[in-house]
């Protein structure tokens, strides 16, 4: 996936979110003279948002801290910004503080609540992409599951675009976001990465909505301190309206992206069975989808209704009428949209037999409850190898793991240290056959990720039975495990394949690799 595609995705997401969060009340134009809007700068909002996240959404605060550690000193986005219906998104901002991650998505004329939702949503996308590098034919996307990083590996060569499935959706079911996210003209990852891109949006919309729901105590406290005038331009009322609009926006997004995911998987099952099996066999994806589905259902089915009740009680005590009527909230004379008929159409559509069967297939493939943590239960816990590794007499530090009494290394690390010897080899990837390719005798081309050190902690590993490797044009059999999104291969398999001597000293636990000697079984 190219950087430009993700930039377009983030840009359009931000514009759509800004417009949705800034939607006026349906009767806004009938309002009387507005109260004076307090002067609240983007910098002040960023500071308040950080306080809110720190107090009520610690996982999102940690996400911002992690993203800041990667982006500090860089320009977060490039471009001059977009203005749509008077809403301006700013992109050119050097990341000097965590506040800058929020300010990069600050929208002119909006308030704290809408800025909070947009900043969390878009920075979560940035977090997902922070390690989105395709290496040796494997891509990976990082999510936050149960407050911890959770990596989903995927094989980009076999992904079918979402639009192949959603193009068949009837006009009456092409809801608000269809054209932007899943139409044939869409250049967003929700189209380009199929089910994986759709899950990106489900999780980002979830966290944007969840952050606002987490902030309800802040909003209640603000109403206590400042009161409310139910007029356009009163800041308290603007906060309330934005909160209700975020709730509506988040609810609609969930049903849209869930419906498209089911349509996509049904389409693959019928038309691309191998691609369907690959996704349904990706335990990390299945577990993450079930996790976010359950969390989102809880958000819109329990947490948001509880927050609405808290707001009703507070406003009633303040002499403000707050009720619900079908698709709208009614605050005094203002009518503010809830889930509209589009959303209700999709809910009814997903009650069909084919959608219920597909959802059942997903849940049947998921790990047993409780909802998955950052590690799928089918994995092994593995520890870093305790051995010192010598390559042609020189001690070298590798990230390597001990699994079942065998040592597992990254292929590119070995290619890097062997380069320049008589046993050097190139590593490539064949998009057509979707195979990692090894070419003996060719110099290795480094990609910059070699010899990165691990953190010394135990990790979770899953056997990668589907790995496809060829050497000099012929298929080879190598045992491999996926660990944190990277393939680790059994050292002896590789040394046998490359005809390189590998020895082990049981007394010192040292491993010796010698490219001047042929491989020998021990």
C-alpha 161, offset from chain centre: 18
Q: Are 401 and 455 in contact (CB under 8 A)?
A: no
Same domain, 347 and 465: no
DSSP H or E segment with residue 514? strand 510-514
Residues 356 and 414 in one domain: no
Over residues 51-80, the mean pLDDT reads: 71
Q: Which residues pair with 439 in a beta bridge?
A: 426
| Structure tokens belonging to residue 37 | 């809007």
**Is residue 419 in a domain?**
yes
Least confident window among 381-395, 424-438, 504-518 = 424-438
* Secondary structure of residue 139 in the 3-state scheme: strand
Q: Which of 312, 337, 365 is the last residue of a domain?
A: 365
Ramachandran assignment for 429, one of left (phi > 0), alpha (psi -120 to 50 degrees), beta (any other): beta
* Residue 266 and residue 139 in one domain: yes
Left (φ > 0), alpha (ψ -120 to 50) or beta: where does 40 sit?
beta
Residues paired with 480 in a beta bridge? 489
pLDDT digits (tens, 9 = 90+) for 310-345: 999 999 999 999 998 878 889 998 988 887 778 888
* Residues 489-512: tens digit of each pLDDT: 999 999 999 999 999 887 888 999
Report, as an integer, the average pLDDT of 103-110: 62
Average pLDDT value for residue range 263-285: 92
Q: Examine the domain organization and report whether 404 and 307 are in the same domain.
A: no
Q: What is the DSSP string of 311-359?
A: HHHHHHHTT--EEEETTEEEETTEEEE-S-HHHHHHHHHTTSHHHHHHH
Number of domains in the chain: 2
Length of the chain: 522
Q: Is the torsion defined by CA of 74, 76, 78, 79 positive or negative?
A: negative
Residue 522, domain member (yes or no): no
204/182 Cα distance (integer angstroms): 16
Split at pLDDT 50, 70, 90, the class of 74 is low
Give yes or no: residues 338 and 389 share one domain.
no
For the chain, the straight-line distance linking the first and the last C-alpha, in angstroms and rounded, comes to 43
Could you tell me which residues come within 8 angstroms of residue 271 by beta carbon, excluding any fewer than 6 positions away? Answer: 164
| Domain that residue 386 falls in | 380-514
Distance in angstroms (rounded) separating the CA atoms of residues 458 and 1: 30
Classify residue 393: in a domain, yes or no.
yes
**130 lies in the same domain as 232:** yes
Q: Which residues pair with 323 in a beta bridge?
A: 330
Residue 316 lies in a domain: yes
The residue with greater pLDDT, 93 or 477, is 477
Same domain (yes/no): 468, 391:
yes
Same domain, 401 and 325: no
The lowest-confidence range among 15-24, 90-99, 464-473 is: 15-24
In a domain, 370, yes or no: no
Question: 268 lies in a domain?
Answer: yes
Give SS3 for 488.
Answer: strand
Same structural domain, 294 and 390: no
The reply to whether 373 falls in a domain is no
Mark whether 422 and 274 lie in a shared domain. Answer: no
Spatial neighbors of 352 by CB under 8 A, at least 6 apart, are: none
State whether 432 and 345 are in the same domain. no
Does residue 374 fall inside a structural domain? no
- Closest C-alpha to 424, from 410, 447, 442, 411: 442
Q: Where are the alpha helices (DSSP H) in 25-162?
A: 42-56, 58-71, 98-103, 112-129
Indicate the Cα dihedral angle 518, 391, 462, 59, nearest 10°: -170
Q: Which two tokens stand for residue 123?
A: 């920075």
Residues 399 and 361 in one domain: no
Residue where one domain finishes, among candidates 338, 365, 392: 365
Q: Which two tokens stand for residue 90?
A: 């700013």
Residue where a domain stops, chosen among 298, 330, 365 = 365
């Amino acid at each position: 996936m190219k950087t430009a595609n993700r930039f377009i995705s983030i840009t359009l997401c931000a514009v759509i979110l800004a417009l949705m969060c800034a939607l006026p009340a349906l009767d806004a134009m009938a309002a009387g003279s507005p109260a004076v809007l307090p002067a609240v700068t983007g910098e002040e909002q960023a500071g308040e948002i950080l306080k809110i996240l720190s107090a009520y959404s610690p996982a999102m605060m940690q996400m911002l801290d992690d993203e800041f550690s990667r982006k500090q000193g860089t320009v977060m986005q490039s471009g001059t910004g977009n203005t749509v219906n008077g809403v301006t998104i700013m992109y050119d901002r050097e990341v000097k503080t965590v506040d800058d991650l929020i300010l990069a998505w600050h929208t002119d004329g909006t308030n704290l609540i809408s800025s909070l939702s947009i900043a969390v949503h878009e920075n979560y996308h940035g977090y997902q992409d922070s390690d989105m590098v395709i290496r040796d034919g494997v891509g990976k996307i990082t999510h936050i599951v149960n407050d911890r990083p959770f990596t989903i590996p995927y094989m980009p060569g076999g992904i079918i675009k979402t639009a192949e499935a959603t193009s068949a959706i009837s006009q009456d079911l092409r809801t608000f976001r269809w054209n932007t996210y899943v139409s044939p003209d869409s250049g967003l990852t929700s189209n380009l990465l199929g089910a994986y891109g759709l899950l990106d949006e489900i999780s980002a919309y979830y966290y944007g909505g969840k952050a606002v729901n987490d902030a309800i105590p802040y909003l209640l406290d603000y109403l206590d301190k400042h009161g409310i005038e139910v007029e356009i331009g009163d800041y308290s009322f603007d906060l309330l309206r934005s909160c209700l609009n975020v709730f509506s926006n988040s609810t609609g997004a969930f049903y849209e992206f869930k419906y498209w995911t089911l349509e996509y998987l049904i389409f693959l099952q019928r038309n691309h069975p191998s691609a369907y099996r690959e996704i349904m066999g990706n335990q990390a994806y299945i577990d993450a989808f079930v996790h976010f589905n359950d969390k989102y259902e809880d958000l819109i089915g329990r947490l948001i209704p509880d927050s609405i009740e808290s707001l009703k009680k507070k406003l009633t005590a303040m002499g403000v009428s707050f009720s619900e009527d079908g698709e709208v909230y009614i605050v005094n004379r203002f009518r503010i949209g809830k889930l509209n008929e589009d959303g209700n159409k999709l809910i009814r559509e997903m009650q069909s037999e084919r959608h219920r069967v597909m959802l059942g297939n997903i849940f049947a493939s998921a790990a047993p409850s409780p909802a998955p943590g950052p590690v799928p239960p089918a994995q092994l816990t593995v520890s870093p190898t305790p051995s010192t590794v010598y390559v042609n007499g020189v001690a070298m530090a590798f990230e390597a793991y001990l699994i079942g009494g065998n040592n597992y290394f990254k292929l590119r690390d070995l290619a890097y240290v062997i380069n320049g010897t008589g046993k050097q080899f190139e590593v490539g990837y064949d998009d057509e056959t979707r195979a990692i390719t090894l070419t003996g005798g060719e110099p290795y081309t480094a990609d910059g990720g070699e010899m990165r050190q691990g953190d010394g902690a135990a990790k979770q590993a899953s056997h990668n039975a589907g790995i496809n490797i060829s050497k000099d044009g012929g298929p080879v059999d190598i045992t491999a495990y996926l660990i944190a999104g990277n393939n680790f291969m059994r050292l002896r398999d590789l040394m046998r394949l490359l005809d390189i001597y590998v020895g082990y000293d049981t007394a010192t636990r040292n491993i010796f690799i010698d490219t001047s000697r042929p491989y020998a079984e021990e």
